[in-house]
Amino acid sequence: MLPGTRVRVVRDTTWDGPWQREFTGVLSPSIPPTIWGPGDTDYFVVFDESQIDCDGDGPYSKAMIRAKYLRVDVRRAWVPPEVAPRPWSPRMRVVDLDMVAQPDLHVTPEPDVLFWVSLPGIEAGCYTDGTGRIVYVETVPGTVPNKVLQVAQPGATYVVHPVLDGRFAVVLRTDSQARVVEVVADPVAPAGAYGHDAHPFAAVVGAWPGQVSPRALLASAGRTALEGLASVAQRLVDSTDRGQRASVRVQASYAHAGAVPSQLLVDDVVDGQSTSALFVNT
């Protein structure tokens, strides 16, 4: 995790500690982490509010904390894209689901609820409408072991935020048959923003099953289309590396009830210059 990252300090699931409650803070930008070995790191955390530890000592305003007790506080870091605002309403209630402590917990949709699912390194927010249908999901790259999040929801919007910078997000929309019909990156993140792949759709590569993953969607467009899309993606990443602002929108069309798109329309804009390309499934 990078200095300045907002984190949530969690309690251990096997004993009453190390702190009396969960709380938030920020990784110190001036004190480096202590690395004891692979996967064993302590971070210096400055607390938002002073805390008492499990022995009753304190209050402490900062401390070195083992990485396994830290979760990225994405609720404060994420910035919803303009093309996909959150469907929040005052009548909604928030339900926190700690799947670290309850790994087999299953989300049962209810009307007008924001289900907030927590896992090691992964957070996901699921918004339902007045009928209890999931209409909006936002998360980070990774696999969420919960059926409601693994299976594409019909008529839903998915917002996948990069790990290292909450300003960039990839938006996916599904149709009534839960097929991806649109993928939007606006703006396209610079290389490295997702922490692994420079591809504009890197946030969702490997994060979802076939029907939700743009990589699977694009691959199904045929070799010619896939090569063309890869060329567009590289051009956009090169543009952002030069400091230019780039955005891209991919629209998928399907023939009848087929699960494979018959064609993909790609529209991108780099510093106000628009380019369009149609890739037919061969």
Q: Say yes or no to pLDDT of 199 above 50.
A: no
Residue by residue, DSSP assigns 87-113 as ---TT-EEEEEETTT-TT------TTE
Q: CA geometry: angle at 244 spanning 238 and 250, to 5°?
A: 70
Q: Report pLDDT digits (tens) over 98-135.
A: 655 555 555 677 899 888 776 655 667 888 999 999 89
pTM score of the predicted model? 0.68
Mode of pairing for the β-strands spanning 23-27 and 6-9: antiparallel
Average pLDDT, the chain: 76
Q: Report pLDDT digits (tens) over 142-166.
A: 544 455 556 678 899 988 776 555 5
Q: Are the C-beta atoms of 70 and 43 separated by less than 8 Å?
A: yes
Q: Report pLDDT digits (tens) over 239-266.
A: 887 889 888 898 888 887 777 778 888 8
Mode of pairing for the β-strands spanning 157-160 and 134-139: parallel
pLDDT band (50, 70, 90) for residue 193: low
